[in-house]
């Protein structure tokens, strides 16, 4: 648990048998540049040196980010991770426990309660599994020892250290994913600072321990990334309705308007959708063969959370299962 406490310097108690990488001497640290970026937030060069002496390189982080599930699994394998009876059951329990907060978030932000719950369910099993790596280790490892994306993770490291000062937390304490994502909704530091919100009125934004803030922050993130209230996410197609291969791309962006679709595909859509609405046909492999969907703007909004069609489809299908479960109660 992340404690709200004032941080007057780093007092470290390092124990155990782990090997600590001394990032204070790492050639990619660029200490003077980092200090100039952080001194306005109250960091001194000596504090940063002590901080990076305590940061540990984790080869397991590099291994994990080099083979994300979205890149190595087929859709039906990925689907089987997230569409389980247990995840649906616990999701319904989460929704019952936070019914009022979810309802208010849906009213104020326009995102369905089951979608916000599904994202938290996919990300952290409703807060139960929020990551076991120290955020400082994850971000330091990827900023300094993962050249492929070092620029991105160096920015996240700076954002994280700024966030630590803003939240008055010891930056050595919080834990998260192997990529440095944090809290119920697994926000990266820049997303935490830009999109996380205080949703319970206590004047403090806490997505680590406060379910209300976590729910509101997920909804706020989707709203800010273009979620349109009342519009669909996907429409599955029957085999006889499949579009020809030339309509299919690997691009996450929506390529067509409804008016540009073949007439037989456009006829499947609600007439209330404007003809200039953006849409994309996609295809993924199920256990029984290929399946196609038409996906809409709200599907694209979910891919802004995680740049993966499989992720967005898992969130969509889990949200549908949660909505169905609520109707049955």
Two structure tokens written together for 329: 């109660």
Q: Residue 131 above 60 pLDDT?
A: yes
Asked if residue 118 is part of any domain, the answer here is no
Residue 305's Cβ-count burial label (10 Å; 0-12, 13-18, 19+) is buried
The residue segments making up the domain with residue 257 are: 234-295
Give the alpha-carbon dihedral of 284, 289, 290, 294, to 10 degrees.
-90
Residue 66's Cβ-count burial label (10 Å; 0-12, 13-18, 19+) is exposed
Asked if residue 304 is part of any domain, the answer here is no
**Bridge partners of residue 204, in order along the sequence:** none
Number of domains in the chain: 1
In 166-193, which positions are buried (b, 16+ CB within 10 angstroms) versus exposed (e)? ebebbbbebbbbbbbbbbbbbbbbbbbb
Q: Residue 64 above 80 pLDDT?
A: yes
Give the alpha-carbon dihedral of 14, 48, 5, 207, to 10 degrees.
-100
Asked if residue 161 is part of any domain, the answer here is no
% the chain with pLDDT above 70: 94
Mean pLDDT of 281-285: 93
Residue with tokens 């000596």: 46
More confident residue, 29 or 139: 139
pLDDT at position 135, please? 98
Asked if residue 250 is part of any domain, the answer here is yes
The model's pLDDT over 32-54, given as tens digits with 9 standing for 90+, comes to 899 999 999 999 999 999 999 99
Separation CA 101–CA 31 (nearest Å): 43
Asked if residue 30 is part of any domain, the answer here is no
pLDDT at position 21, please? 52
Least confident of 68-77, 130-139, 142-151, 204-213: 68-77
Is 123 tagged catalytic? yes
Separation CA 210–CA 204 (nearest Å): 10
The answer to whether the CB of 10 falls within 8 A of the CB of 42 is no
Least confident of 4-18, 93-107, 111-125: 4-18
Asked if residue 273 is part of any domain, the answer here is yes
Separation CA 128–CA 131 (nearest Å): 9
Q: Residue 15 above 50 pLDDT?
A: no
Residue 7's Cβ-count burial label (10 Å; 0-12, 13-18, 19+) is middle
Q: Residue 206 above 80 pLDDT?
A: yes
**Angle 150-167/135-145 helices, nearest 10 degrees?**
150
Task: Select which of 56, 106, 114, 123 is catalytic.
Answer: 123
Which band of pLDDT confidence, cut at 50, 70 and 90, is reported for residue 16? very low
Q: Cα-flanking dihedrals φ and ψ of residue 142, to 5°?
A: -80, -30
Separation CA 284–CA 303 (nearest Å): 16
Of 3-7, 67-71, 266-270, highest mean pLDDT: 266-270
Residue 267's Cβ-count burial label (10 Å; 0-12, 13-18, 19+) is exposed
Q: Cα-flanking dihedrals φ and ψ of residue 107, to 5°?
A: -65, -45
pLDDT at position 242, please? 92
Q: Would you call 234 helix, strand, or coil by DSSP?
A: strand
């Amino acid at each position: 648990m992340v404690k709200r406490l004032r941080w007057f310097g780093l007092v470290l108690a390092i124990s155990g048998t782990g090997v600590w990488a001394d990032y204070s001497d790492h050639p990619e640290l660029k200490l003077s540049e980092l200090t100039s970026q952080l001194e306005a937030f109250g960091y001194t060069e000596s504090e940063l040196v002590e901080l990076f002496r305590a940061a540990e390189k984790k080869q397991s982080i590099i291994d994990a980010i080099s083979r994300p599930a979205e890149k190595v699994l087929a859709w039906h394998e990925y689907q089987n991770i997230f569409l389980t009876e247990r995840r649906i059951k616990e999701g319904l329990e989460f929704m019952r426990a936070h019914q009022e907060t979810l309802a208010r978030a849906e009213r104020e932000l326009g995102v369905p309660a089951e979608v916000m719950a599904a994202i938290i369910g996919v990300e952290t099993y409703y807060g139960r599994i929020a990551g076991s790596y120290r955020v400082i280790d994850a971000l330091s490892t990827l900023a300094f020892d993962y050249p492929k994306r070092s620029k991105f993770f160096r920015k996240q490291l700076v954002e994280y250290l700024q966030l630590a000062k803003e939240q008055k937390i010891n930056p050595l304490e919080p834990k998260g994913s192997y990529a440095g994502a944090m809290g119920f909704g697994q926000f990266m530091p820049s997303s935490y600072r830009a999109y996380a919100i205080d949703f319970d009125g206590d004047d403090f934004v806490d997505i680590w321990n406060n379910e209300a803030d976590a729910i509101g922050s997920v909804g706020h993130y989707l709203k800010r990334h273009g979620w349109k209230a009342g519009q669909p996410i996907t429409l599955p197609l029957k085999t006889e309705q499949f579009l020809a291969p030339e309509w299919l791309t690997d691009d996450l962006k929506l390529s067509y308007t409804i008016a540009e679709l073949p007439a037989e595909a456009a006829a499947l859509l609600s007439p209330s959708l404007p003809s200039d609405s953006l849409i994309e046909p996609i295809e993924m492999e199920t256990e029984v063969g290929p399946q196609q969907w038409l996906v809409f703007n709200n599907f694209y909004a979910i891919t802004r959370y995680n740049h993966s069609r499989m992720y967005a489809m898992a969130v969509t299908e889990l949200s549908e299962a949660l909505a169905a479960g609520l109707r049955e109660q």
